[in-house]
Amino acid sequence: MALKIGDTLPDFSAIDTNGTVFHSKDYIGKQSVVIYFYPKDNTPGCTTQACGFRDNYQDFKDLGAEVIGISADSVTSHIKFKSKFNLPFILLSDSDKKLRKLFGVENSLIFLPGRETFVADKNGVILMIFNSMSSKIHIEKALEILKKP
């Protein structure tokens, strides 16, 4: 069942680019989070989106939010992607697609993993869910919602 605005983010864990286990409870309840699901490392749209989050990362931090990117790529792929584009935020590997299922992120165009962004307040309550294959709009929408009083 898909998450909706007003729901609380589920508790989850996954492997990050340091090879350590990331626990959502280390962030949720402490600060706002922007969790974005994307199809694949090093593809044009996903690179544009990741670089958009990178270029606006300080704005997210200034608003008290952490950015977390999730795709089915391996940790090794994420390490290369993060290094190549100097990405300062967390990337998580969802190779078994459990997180996609947990969040209710559907495939787009039948075969392509969906591109969906969740913004939650510091208590983990979802303020925004944005689903669009247009990679650039996700950053603008996430910043907009975080700036609201």
Which residues are designated catalytic?
46
Q: Which long-range contacts (CB under 8 A, 24 or more apart) does 135-141 make?
A: 135/38, 135/45, 135/46, 135/48, 135/49, 135/52, 136/48, 136/49, 136/52, 138/36, 138/49, 138/52, 139/49, 139/52, 139/53, 139/56, 141/117
